[in-house]
Chains A and B, each alone.
Chain A
Amino acid sequence: MSALAVRLRFARTGYGKVGLAGSLLLLALIAVGPLFAPHDPAGIVSVPLQQPSSEFLLGTDGLGRDVLSRVLWGGRSVVGLAVLATALAYAVGTAIGLLAGYTRSLVDPLLMRAMDVLLAVPPLLFLLVLATGAGRSIPVLVLGVATVHVPSIARIVRAATQEVSTHGYVEAAVARGERVGAILRREILPNVLGTVLADAGIRLTASILILASVNFLGLGLQPPRADWALMIAENRGGITLQPWAVAAPALLIAFLTISVNLVADAVARSLGTSTDRKRVAR
């Protein structure tokens, strides 16, 4: 079976199809939505907490900004930062896992004990402590979310690396006198990549969830940025007068996370690593 067929097999399941369609639709909205924004997302354009009208299709928020325009702009940070954090987590986690799995020195137990400690801290607590100590900024936010994923990625890569290193072609490379860096990159990495990326979608969903939660708590991105989670937090006070300013971003986050998770779950299943088993195994 070709690699492409394996990759697309997830799309055959019902949930996978629904998820894929939903994800693509939302990504399109997030990518080109700002082009269609009728007003400046940061500009005060009318009276606060106005009901939906023909000029402001979703009404205005507590400061008199157009909710529709803010919603159209507000998905970029949700998806963009989550993708960034997940990619960073994979880069660092894979490097640590490769090193720990290949080396037979003290480096391995040292690295893995450090990972165990990180796993012992609740992710949200970790991010809150980070926000207290290092302040609220985008780099801190992305680094924090990436750090939350690193230990489990490193563990999986380490186990896969240990298995792959026993193969003849790795021993041949060692016998040829190749440098460690080259062996890790050319011989081992390509063979562990499949195992590692199988749950990339699940991690992306987790990144979106935790980033949005921190932003909602007011400890990540700061106003006046247009961000769905931040919008919900800002407009909760006016929920009785103008429910749309809260409902629109809330429904969009729900739609996004459900779609992405359906795809992630279908991919994981088609690769034979069901989410259920993984969670039990941890």
Chain B
Amino acid sequence: MTELAAPELALTGVPSRRRRHPLASFVLRRVAAGVATLVVVSILLFTGTNVLPGDVASAVLGRDSTPAGLAQIRRELHLNRPAPERYWNWLSGFVQGDLGSSVAGQAVSGEPTPISGLIGDRIRNTAVLALCTILLLVPLSLVLGVLSAMRAGRPVDHAVTGISLGLISLPEFVTGTLLILVFAEWLGLLPAVSLIGIDDTVLTHPSILVLPVLTLLAASLAQTTRMVRAGMLEVLRSDYVEWARLSGHRERDVVFRYALRNALAPTVQVIALNVQWLVGGIVVTEYVFGYPGIGQALVQAVSARDVPYVLSVGMLIAIVYIALNVVADLLVVLLVPKLRTAQ
């Protein structure tokens, strides 16, 4: 009933922003939900890292810790404050761009080391790695997925399916280690570790990018290819494709003019999901190759139990992850009009 009544309302001039801009309201709601999730996740991360309050202080002092020293550090770092107050101080600082100070950095230099100064280059390096992977991932998965869907059941399809099924199941650190064994140790073609000078950037040594990108591609390409293939197969079996074939169109036209466009919408979501999945893969891959990015920094910070560092970097990663999720949802709704009314 409400759906029937809606156009009348609009016609009789009762203005309702929701009805006039369903898309805008969907975008707003989705973004608001994303921000709300982020706030809850920030509470979760804070609680997770601050369960044992003594550790930050003992991490600063290391082996020289005395009860008096620990008490002093706790006062300096405001660890004696109640948790909600500390959470609020951290969050308001974070929102204003103050990511806090690295405890491990302080233990080494004796001075508070601002985290924001430590991670600028690392964020850029990780972005380069992610971008290279995505730029290869998208076209390759489309080509391989469409190709194996068109040749379903034939040798090409079997090869693509079999290889991707194998690659999906490999953890990044195994793929990375095996790539190092083959290309760095046996063939001596590529560096096993990402060594760059202090003033250099990753881009001045493109060879160090090859193996990490291959590692990240292995699993993500296998997944996206499989899903593009599945989506394409479903479309190729649909009535309108059958109709186009019966009307005498050439198979190439059927695939590219009719099927591919309609298979593309779910594909965008699939690729967005895999880019989101790359967030976890990048952490392990950077660690395998000693690649100076944000993921390696996170693992090092966890090893050193550098709580403020883990918290801020973790929050940055969560922001990217959740933002990608929102963007994926929005993109799909923009591409598939019928989903707009289903919300």
Interface residues of chain A, those whose CB is within 8 Å of chain B, are 15, 116-117, 120-126, 128-135, 205, 209, 212-213, 216-219, 229, 232, 236, 239-240, 243, 246-247, 250-251, 253-254, 257-258, 260-262, 265, 274-277, 279-280, 282
Kindly report which residue of chain B lies nearest to residue A120, judged by CB atoms: B37
Which residues of A have CB within 8 Å of B168?
261
Contacts of A205 in B (CB 8 A): 169
What residues on B are CB-neighbors of A261 within 8 Å? 165, 168-169
A212: B residues at CB distance < 8 A = 171, 173-174
**Residue in chain A with minimal CB distance to B178:** A250
Minimum distance in angstroms from A152 CB to a CB of chain B: 13
For B171, the chain A residues whose CB sits under 8 A away are 209, 212-213, 216, 253, 257
21 contacts across the A-B interface (CB closer than 8 A): A117-B44, A120-B37, A120-B322, A124-B284, A125-B318, A128-B302, A133-B48, A133-B50, A209-B169, A217-B284, A219-B302, A236-B177, A239-B180, A239-B192, A246-B181, A247-B178, A250-B177, A257-B174, A274-B230, A279-B273, A280-B230
> Which chain B residues numbered 217 to 259 have a C-beta less than 8 Å away from chain A?
223, 226-227, 229-231
| Complex Cα spacing A253 to B172, Å | 11
Q: Is B111 an interface residue (CB 8 A)?
A: no
Query: B177, A232: Cβ atoms under 8 Å?
Result: yes
A residues less than 8 Å from B162 (CB atoms): 15
Contacts of B266 in A (CB 8 A): 280
- Expressed in whole angstroms, the Cα–Cα distance for A242 and B10 within the complex equals 76
Query: What is the interface size of chain B, counting residues whose CB is below 8 A from a CB of the partner?
Result: 57
Q: Which residues of B contact A (CB under 8 A)?
A: 37, 40-41, 44-45, 47-52, 162, 165-166, 168-174, 177-178, 180-181, 185, 192, 223, 226-227, 229-231, 266, 269-270, 273, 276, 279-280, 283-284, 287, 298-299, 301-303, 305, 307, 310, 314, 317-318, 321-322, 325
CA distance A133 to B50 in the complex (A): 6
From A235, which residue of chain B is reached at the shortest CB distance?
B177
CA distance A203 to B86 in the complex (A): 37
Q: How far is the CB of A103 from chain B (nearest CB, A)?
A: 22
Give A217's nearest chain B residue, CB to CB: B299
B310 touches A121 (CB 8 A): no
A276 touches B226 (CB 8 A): yes
Closest to B282 in A: A124
Alpha-carbon distance A67/B288, docked complex (angstroms) = 21
- The answer, among B48, B223, B229, B287, for a CB contact under 8 Å with A217, is B287
Q: Which residue of B lies closest to A218 (CB)?
A: B303
Please determine whether A120 and B41 come into contact, CB atoms closer than 8 angstroms.
Answer: yes
> Chain B interface secondary structure, helix, strand, loop or mixed?
helix
Are B165's CB and A262's CB within 8 A? yes
Q: A124-B284, A260-B169 are in contact. Are A129 and B299 (CB under 8 A)?
A: no
**CB contact under 8 A between A116 and B178, given known A122-B280, A213-B171, A265-B165:** no
Contact B223–A279 (Cβ < 8 Å): yes
Contacting residues, chain A, for B298 (C-beta < 8 A):
125, 128
By a CB distance below 8 angstroms, the chain B residues around A279 are: 223, 227, 270, 273
Please tell me which one of the listed residues A135, A239, A274 contacts residue B185 in the complex, with CB atoms under 8 A apart: A239
Complex: A220 Cα to B170 Cα, angstroms: 19
Most buried by A among B44, B165, B169, B298: B169
- Residues of chain A within 8 A (CB-CB) of B49 are 129, 132-133
**4 extra interchain contacts, Cβ-Cβ under 8 A, other than A125-B321, A209-B171, A279-B270?**
A122-B280, A212-B171, A239-B180, A258-B170
Docked pose: A247 CA to B182 CA in angstroms: 10
CB–CB B178/A122 < 8 A: no
**B303: shortest Cβ distance to chain A, in Å?**
6
CB distance B48 to A132 under 8 Å?
Answer: yes
Which B residues are CB-close (under 8 A) to A131?
302
A19-B185 Cα distance, complex, nearest whole Å: 30
In the bound complex, residues from chain B placing their C-beta under 8 Å from that of A276 are 226-227, 229-230
CA distance A190 to B246 in the complex (A): 47
On chain B, the residues within 8 Å of A280 by CB distance are 227, 230-231, 266, 269-270
- Given A117-B44, A125-B314, A133-B51: A15 in contact with B165 (beta carbons within 8 A): yes
Count chain A CB atoms within 10 A of each CB in B47, B303, B325 and give the residue with the most.
B303
Residue of B50, B166, B269, B325 near A258 (CB, 8 A) is: B166
